[in-house]
């Protein structure tokens, strides 16, 4: 199949450098790189998503005896005397 694609400058430079190093035609190199990329995509799609576990962190002592009293929580958080 023949087609025309527009490459970004950085991709074109890397392709040209690889083509010279490996002494391959542009067609061979592009096909090989696309096959490798498709293979990597297929591998990622078949893997279960990685689970992230949030590590526990100590926040220190609780400064408010009861959190159901909103006025008291606000007063303590603003360093005010309560009662």
Place of tokens 């609780």: 62
What secondary structure, in 3-state letters, does 14-71 show? HHHHHHHHHCCCHHHHHHHHHHHHHHHHHHHHCCCCCCCCCCCCCCCCCCCCCCCCHH
Distance (Å) of CA 33 to CA 18, 19, 42: 11, 11, 14
pLDDT in tens, 63-79: 777 778 888 888 877 87
pLDDT in tens, 17-72: 999 999 999 999 999 999 999 988 887 777 777 888 999 998 888 777 777 888 88
Q: Where are the domains of the chain?
A: 9-45
Place of tokens 């542009």: 26
């Amino acid at each position: 199949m023949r087609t025309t694609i527009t490459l970004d400058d950085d991709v074109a430079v890397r392709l040209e450098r690889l083509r010279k190093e490996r002494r391959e035609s542009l067609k061979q190199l592009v096909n090989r790189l696309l096959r490798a990329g498709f293979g990597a995509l297929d591998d990622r799609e078949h893997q279960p998503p990685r689970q992230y576990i949030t590590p526990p962190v100590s926040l220190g002592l609780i400064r408010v005896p009861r959190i159901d009293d909103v006025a008291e929580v606000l007063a303590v958080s603003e360093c005010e005397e309560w009662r």
